[in-house]
Amino acid sequence: MTWVHRAATALCISTILAIMSPTPSRGQSGESKRQATDNAINDPEAAQPIAEDLSAKLKKSSVAKAIRKVGDWQLGRAVPSFSQDWTYAALYAGYAAVPEAVAGDKYRLAMKSVGEKFQWQLGPRPFHADDQAIGQTYLDLYSVFHDEQMIAPTRQRIDTMLQSPDPAEKPLWWWCDALFMAPPVLAKLSRSTGDAKYLEYMDRQWGITSASLYHPKEHLFFRDATYLDKHEKNGRPLFWSRGNGWVMAGLVRVLQAMPAGDPARPKYVAQFKEMAAALAAVQGKDGLWRPGLLDPGAYPLPEISGSAFITYAYAYGVNEGILDRSEYLPRVKKAWAGLLSHIYADGRLGAIQPIGGAPGEYTARSSYVYGVGAFLMAGSEIYRLARN
């Protein structure tokens, strides 16, 4: 990309970000603003046909086209509602993962502007994993720009957490989604600073959450402790596909940042492989996963955010030789084709369940930013897998 193209891209991003509304005060949740955006996205009058210009072939050009189609559509609509919330943190992580060969500097510059808007601060709750998730993108940008101010507030916040006692009433990461939100921040911070204390703390907290929520026989995570005794209509335990998708994506991002020789690494690889096999057993004929993993027939639609996170993990596992290529590459291909079948002509990604803690209702047109983030992560890893 020439300096002329870079300047034009930067000007385009600056123009988009100039319309961003002021950051909500700490006393005012961004929920109403986000809900307004989601309502506009899910307006039935805005419905379009499914896209017919995308190919599921694992060719770099085809994968890149799908990434840009969804990524560009979402960027244009999400900018006014950008926040430090976990929902947007997942979206930012997706944009930050997109290779430069796919979209040039456009997404990276947009994410850099997000960091500048929030002065590289995490969300308001000091030790809450959801409010730490945005730190993943700050750390990814730091790895490119090497500007200490990008990670200084994150490091300060995490250092304070490490010096504080564990919560007495329940685990720090008491819900399985948290394993995507916070552990990659700690792992990336350890890699960026060379300080092993962040990985050591992450490893201890991950172990606490696994001991509480990971089923040793089913090899899946309950969403939180309130679901330990809940069941599907068929009597099987209730395991949420999106919750387990969050965990799989968290495992990927921890393994990406963890040194190859770290003594804790083998147990993360083992858990990753166990979960991959359990999820393979319930992959749908359309390549996707239903909201309730062990009673798929009870759910009419696949759930795209969880399916995209699982696809991301499968593609990473194949790329890194962690998962058997002959077994999992066909699953990646099938899942990618399934994901593309839920992209609309304008680039909107559908069949994404709204915010929740368990399988819930949604429509084929439902679209939410965290699901798009998951799709961008999946696409970026599949792009690495695809042939020229």
Tokens of 146: 């090497």
**Helices 86-97 and 60-78: angle between axes, nearest 10 degrees:** 150
Cβ atoms 187, 198 nearer than 8 A: yes
Q: Is 177 a catalytic residue?
A: yes
HSE at residue 149, side-chain half, CA atoms within 13 A, is 5
> Exactly one of 38, 85, 130, 177 is catalytic; which is it?
177
User: Closest by alpha carbon to 188, among 129, 135, 127?
Assistant: 135
Exposure pattern of 225-234 as b/e (b: 16+ CB <10 Å)? eebeeeebee
Q: How many CB atoms lie within 10 A of CB 140?
A: 22
Cβ atoms 233, 295 nearer than 8 A: yes
Q: Which residues pair with 50 in a beta bridge?
A: 344
**Residue 194 buriedness (CB in 10 A; 0-12 / 13-18 / 19+):** exposed
Question: How far does CA 349 lie from the centroid of its chain?
Answer: 15
Q: How many CB atoms lie within 10 A of CB 71?
A: 27
Residues designated catalytic: 177
